[in-house]
Amino acid sequence: MLAEKVRPALFDLGLDDEQEARARWLHESSIVADLLFQGPFGPSDFTDRMSQRLKARHEGGQDLKDLALHAPLLPVRGALDGECPEFRDRWQASGLTFCNREVEVSDQNIFATTFGLAQRQFDGFDWMVKALRAEDVRRAKAEGKVAGLVSTQLGYGPFPDLEVLGAAYDLGLRMSQLTYNSKNTIGVGCTEPTDGGLSDFGVSVVRRMNELGIIVDTAHCGRQTTLDACRLSSAPVVASHTAAAGVYKHDRCKSDEELRALAETGGVVGIVVVPFLLTDAARPDLQTWLDHVRYVADLVGAQHVGIGTDWPMQAPSWALTLFNQAIEGAGFRREHKVDLHSSLGGFESYADTPNLTRALVAGGFSDEETAGILGGNFLRVFEQVCG
């Protein structure tokens, strides 16, 4: 039985007893996938010991970029060393069964560090399997385990060359963004003032990803880069964690044109729970998230909708304050209204993931549509691209 402190806080969605039972059944029986999983910890989950370790690194002169990379790894390393049993407790509380394990590729050191730690999790956690094919995910669900999807946001820089892309695939990479917010050698990110699309190298990257069986992710890509990727790709293209610009205009949100293009490839759009990407309302809640889900479903079909929470950040509150000060280095500007301390009513931590299922039931989605949004739609894409 889960500890009381990691039980989900049931947000009031006006469900009757029959709907609550239906939501519980759907969440327990479905493959629940998060296309951009920051958890299972949130700021309030960090122990004093982990927080002090991070502070020692910062006070020892570690720059903010390295600190931002290291903070999310503390709970993972603690769990691998047998010092953080809460790691699995919180994951179990979420009910998530298919989540990404983040890596980076920009230089040899960061490549080795992040891929090495990802593999340590697959080797060290008897409840986690590496998802290389769809059957790995189905088997993990049947055995009560979780499936880890090795993916990268290219947040620290793009693939130096196509050989590195091939090496990453050999080590398990199965999904990659093309850009983060800014322009790189592959293409143009969503917060750049220009809209140049894919470069010649970017075209080669998309084609090589198709050949290898790596899912093309456009979550942080600019409009033209997204459209170029959809036009060029011979396989489904996703936007792993975004929202609908038709509901709330933000550089990180996808236009109707992009959403249609992604759907036409057979892809999936993961909707975030990041408050400042969903609305400028003072106290946003799950209804706001549901508004974006409904908008995309109405525009292109529920079969093209998924979940990519990207929130809350896996770092203690004091570290988030530092990261807020350095956010412009990641391509965000003041007008993007980034607030790393913000939270969405009904999704304060990953233990609240069952509330997403309850929101879908409250929103009138059928059982088939709900199971698809929870993870079935992305599993379909994963199987088409990766086998």
**pLDDT the model gives residue 343:** 87
Q: Find all residues with CB under 8 Å of 149, minimum gap 6, and list them.
A: 98, 99, 100, 101, 131, 174, 175, 382
Residue 371 has pLDDT above 90, yes or no: yes
pLDDT confidence bin for 69, thresholds 50/70/90: low
* Structure-model confidence comparison of residues 27 and 72, the more confident one: 27
Residue 327 has pLDDT above 80, yes or no: no
- Which two three-digit tokens encode residue 263? 């759907």
Q: Find all residues with CB under 8 Å of 64, minimum gap 6, and list them.
A: 322, 323, 325, 326, 329
Residue 375 has pLDDT above 70, yes or no: yes
pLDDT confidence bin for 62, thresholds 50/70/90: low
**pLDDT the model gives residue 64:** 65
Average pLDDT over residues 357-383: 98
- 108-124 and 73-80 are packed helices; what angle lies between their axes, rounded to 10 degrees? 40
Q: How far apart are CA 125 and CA 300, in angstroms?
A: 38
Average pLDDT, the chain: 92
**pLDDT the model gives residue 2:** 37
Average pLDDT over residues 142-155: 97
CA 204 from centre of chain: 25
Global pTM reads: 0.94
pLDDT confidence bin for 54, thresholds 50/70/90: confident
Looking at 55-59, 349-353, 372-376, which range is the least confident one?
Answer: 55-59
Q: Which CATH superfamily is domain 4-386 in?
A: Metal-dependent hydrolases (3.20.20.140)
* Structure-model confidence comparison of residues 191 and 61, the more confident one: 191
**pLDDT the model gives residue 65:** 64
**pLDDT the model gives residue 250:** 95
**pLDDT the model gives residue 33:** 98
Helix (H, G, I), strand (E, B), or coil: what is residue 133? coil
**pLDDT the model gives residue 72:** 78
- Per cent of the chain over pLDDT 90 is 76
**pLDDT the model gives residue 47:** 80
Phi, psi of 241, rounded to the nearest 5 degrees: -150, 100
Q: How far apart are CA 61 and CA 386, in angstroms?
A: 41
Helix (H, G, I), strand (E, B), or coil: what is residue 214? coil
**pLDDT the model gives residue 254:** 98
Count of other CB atoms within 10 angstroms of residue 282: 6
**pLDDT the model gives residue 342:** 87
Q: How distant, in Å, are the alpha carbons of 12, 259, 286, 363 from that of 303?
A: 26, 13, 20, 15
Burial grade of 58 (CB within 10 A; 0-12, 13-18, 19 or more): middle
Question: Read out DSSP for 48-96?
Answer: HHHHHHHHHHHHTT--HHHHHHHTTHHHHHHHHTTS-THHHHHHHHHT-
**pLDDT the model gives residue 330:** 81
Residue 170 has pLDDT above 70, yes or no: yes
Residue 316 has pLDDT above 90, yes or no: no
pLDDT tens for each residue of 208-263: 999 999 999 999 999 999 999 999 999 999 999 999 999 999 999 999 999 999 99
- 200-212 and 223-232 are packed helices; what angle lies between their axes, rounded to 10 degrees? 50
Helix (H) or strand (E) holding 270: strand 269-271
**pLDDT the model gives residue 5:** 45
pLDDT tens for each residue of 15-50: 999 999 999 999 999 999 999 999 998 888 888 888
Average pLDDT over residues 345-361: 95
**pLDDT the model gives residue 6:** 52
Average pLDDT over residues 257-273: 98
Burial grade of 334 (CB within 10 A; 0-12, 13-18, 19 or more): exposed
* Structure-model confidence comparison of residues 76 and 6, the more confident one: 76
Region of 95 please: left (phi>0), alpha (psi -120 to 50) or beta: left
